[in-house]
Amino acid sequence: MQCKGCGLEAMIADKKLCFEGDESPDTGTRAFYELTYKCRNPQCPEFGKVLETAKVYLD
């Protein structure tokens, strides 16, 4: 993931372990990390702003 403001590779600023399909016993439960990417260039106007949130599923 690259910042659109400066082109520098974004950093993972936060991660959270989440689950989906937990509400019903009829569905399978899947675990995933929700990763938040932020710009790490202090001279960029997008610095510190959330650029993207992505799900990474665990098998």
pTM surpassing 0.75?
A: yes
Cβ 39 vs Cβ 52: under 8 Å: no
> What value does the CA radius of gyration of the chain take, rounded to a whole number of Å?
15
pLDDT digits (tens, 9 = 90+) for 2-52: 898 999 999 999 999 999 887 777 878 899 999 999 999 999 999 989 999
CA distance 31 to 40: 28
What pLDDT is recorded for position 11? 95
What pLDDT is recorded for position 16? 97
What pLDDT is recorded for position 34? 97
Indicate the domain borders of the chain: 11-57
Give the residue ranges of DSSP H helices in 1-59.
none
> Rounded to a whole number, what is the distance in angstroms from the first to the last CA of the chain?
22
